[in-house]
Copies of this chain bind each other. A is one copy, B any other.
Amino acid sequence: MLGGIEAGGTKIVCAVGSSPDQILASQVIPTADPAASFQQVCAFFDTAQATHGRIDSIGVAAFGPVDIDPGSPTYGTVQRTVKPGWAGASWVDGLSRLGCPFIVDTDVNGAALGEWRLGAGKGYATLAYVTVGTGIGAGVLKNGRSMSGSGHYEMGHIYPPHDYESDPFPGRCPLHRDCLEGLASGPAITDRWGVTLSEVPAGHPAFALQAGYLAHLATTITLTHMPDRIIFGGGVMKAPGLMERLRAATRILLADYLSDGPASGDLAGYLVPPALGDEAGVTGALAMAEARAGHAAH
């Protein structure tokens, strides 16, 4: 039996399953303060274990910044976050009373793994996953293993070219102002236009602007990681037509430079939506648990 936790800023999804694609029970818990959230998470797994049997391991795909280095003394600890009460909260401490092994990675790395195991990332040796929602984040897998350096990647804070004439919006990132998250996250869109991207009419300039910023991210991920495919998920990507505009804008930026690789042609097979939709995260958390338990199929 596997446990999975997808922890986001507004909700925490808990699940148990016999494999990543066989979910037997799940529950959505609103993200409260850490003590209350951990208590509810543990209560779910207590009940699940009583019903479905002993859990071998739990995968935690958590919002960041979070320490994902298993060798670190602060492994599983939430870092420098703006979410009230969560800075310094530890998934290791919060889940310890369950007494089973677990693994902590970022939410976006979890979603990437879910897609790699069962969705749009199957068979891709170097796979990138981008989420565009309340924040912007990206993860990269090599053969199903999430990549990191001294910490997990922080690609939402890359600075794209920002033309103040066509976009006078100054950006809303409290630290970096006009980084990608400051210019192109869901809250940046609503701050700038008063509505979400899904609510503006098709010809609205918001689409070209958004596609341009995300094309800068797609181009930068391409040049820095040379992935075989990039999956773009998250709430903002649900706006009709955005994916097609993203491909067209990325083509212009790449200027056919990488014509002998996957980032070539019309990019229809290179920049793609998630196949698992909103299930990618918890599926990936279960896949993390499976890998941790040592009976991963790959």
Contacts and interface: CB of A to CB of B under 8 A. Distances in A.
Given A80-B260, A224-B225, A225-B224, A253 B159 contact: yes
Contacts of A225: 149, 153, 224
Interface string A57-88: 00000000000000000000001100000000
Interface stretch (A19-27, A187-195, A215-223, A282-290): A215-223
Contacts of A256: 175
A27 B162 CA distance: 47
A53 interface: no
Count of identical protomers in the assembly: 2
A172 interface: no
A101 interface: no
B158 A159 contact: no
A228 interface: yes
Interface in A155-195: 155, 157-162, 175-176
A259 B151 CA distance: 12
Contact of A224 (B79, B155, B262, B263): B155
Nearest to A259: B80
A159 to B, nearest CB: 6
22 contacts: A80-B259, A80-B260, A125-B149, A148-B226, A150-B228, A150-B261, A150-B263, A151-B260, A151-B261, A154-B222, A154-B223, A154-B226, A157-B257, A158-B219, A158-B223, A158-B224, A159-B219, A160-B161, A161-B161, A175-B255, A175-B256, A176-B255
